[in-house]
Structure formats: structure tokens, C-alpha cells
Amino acid sequence: MTFNFAVVLKFQEALFLGLWMTLKLTLICIVLGCALGFLVALARTSKNAILRAASSVYVEFFRGTPVLVQLFWIFFCLPLILGVELSNMTSGVIALTLYMGAISSETFRASLKSVGREQLDACVALGLSHWARTTNVVLPQAVLRAAPTLLSNCVSLFKESALVSAVGMADLMFVGQNISNNTARPIEVLTIVALIYFVIAFPLTRAVTVIERRILKRLAL
């Protein structure tokens, strides 16, 4: 068996476009998903029983079903229910944002809980208003504590985003599959695709460790 990696070079541009789609989708869904996750975490600890119930159902549902099924459902069922056409990009963003929201809400919930009652007492003793307490004490501590897990969530999202190729979005995985079908060189092409994913994800997983060691240790959070 002979390998011909030069084949892959010919499709450089297509692969870059695919990667660009993957990164764009991931970044958009990280931003939207984290915001959603934070709000859902607040809702899950809210005094309002309806908010609590609705947010729990959402989180448990998305954590308890395969991402691929969620994706198919949003691509094929949601437009039928809403009666509108959704572009591939819109559907992809909705699906992965909901996924990211669900997993990051759990991360935020744990970190919010970890800001102890003593910290809140100290805030009251210093006369800080509820708003000042939330924005200057609770939120920064929660975000710092959540940072390593949140970054892991981002890496998961980046990798799970490959599933959108199954519904025809031209991401890195989709482009790679196409090239490998057309050239009949699956080993070369899919290996390169795997390497591209790895080269991006690996530094991020390392960063998780660094954050944990350096920052959290310095702050003893």
C-alpha cells in the first residue's frame, strides 16, 4: 500500500473553507451557548418554580439525548413545527447553541454554588448592594472557577460540531469526506482531517491544565 499525501495538498483551499465553517460555527455557538448557559444556571437556582422546572427539563433533555439526534430533529422537525424554512447555518447554530447551553449551564451552576455563604456575609458586612455583590464578587469568582470546565466544554463543542456534516453543512468533516470519496484516498485525507482537529483541540486541552494549575492555584479558588 502506498500513501500519497500530495493529493490532500490539491484540496487545500476546500479544506480551509471547511475549517473556516467549523471554526465560525464553533465560535458563534460558544458565545451564544455560554450566555444561554449562564442564564439557564441562574434559572435553575431561581425562586420561581416554573423557571426552575423549565430549565431542568431543557438541560436534562439535551444531556440525555445524542447530539446527532438533536441535530436531525432541529434540521428536519423544527422547520415543520415552526412552518418556516431555516438555512443550514441557522439550524446548525440553533442546535449547537442549545447543546452548549445545556452543558455549560451545569458548569456555571456548580461554580455559582461554590461561592460560599461566607463570601456573601462579607459583602453584606461591607455594605455592598445586591448588584455590586453579584457583579463584583459572585460573577468573577463563578467565571474563574468555571473557566477550566468551560474551556473543556468548548473543546467538546468543537469536536461535536463535526456532526453537522451529517446534515450537509460544508464543515471540515464534510469537505474531508467529499475529498476522500472523490479521490478514493480515505486514509490520507481523513488522517489529515483528524490531525487538523487535533492541532486545534490539543493546545486548548493543555490550556485547561495550565489554567487549573496557575490561576486557580494562585487564587486558591
Closest among 176, 196, 164 to 99, alpha carbons compared:
164
Report the nearest approach of other proteins to the CB of residue 144 (Å).
6
Please pick, from the candidates 31, 57, 122, 187, the single residue that binds other proteins as defined by CB under 8 A: 122
Q: How many other β-carbons are positioned within 10 Å of the β-carbon of residue 17?
A: 15
**Residues between 102 and 121 with contacts to other proteins, criterion CB under 8 A:** 118-119, 121
The count of chain residues that interact with other proteins, using the rule CB under 8 A, is 21
Residue 130 makes contact with other proteins by CB under 8 A: no
Report the nearest approach of other proteins to the CB of residue 221 (Å).
6
Please pick, from the candidates 132, 187, 204, 210, the single residue that binds other proteins as defined by CB under 8 A: 132
Report the nearest approach of other proteins to the CB of residue 12 (Å).
45
Q: Which is nearer to other proteins, 48 or 129 (CB)?
A: 129
User: 205 near 152, Cβ under 8 Å?
Assistant: yes
Please pick, from the candidates 84, 87, 127, 199, the single residue that binds other proteins as defined by CB under 8 A: 127
List of residues 6+ apart from 11 with CB closer than 8 A: 175, 179, 183, 189
User: Contact letters (x/-) for other proteins, 52-91, by CB under 8 A?
Assistant: ----------------------------------------
List of residues 6+ apart from 24 with CB closer than 8 A: none
Q: Which is nearer to other proteins, 50 or 125 (CB)?
A: 125
First and final C-alpha spacing in the chain: 54
CB contact burial 158-184 (16+ within 10 A = b; e otherwise): bbbbbbbbebebbbbbbbbbbbbeeee
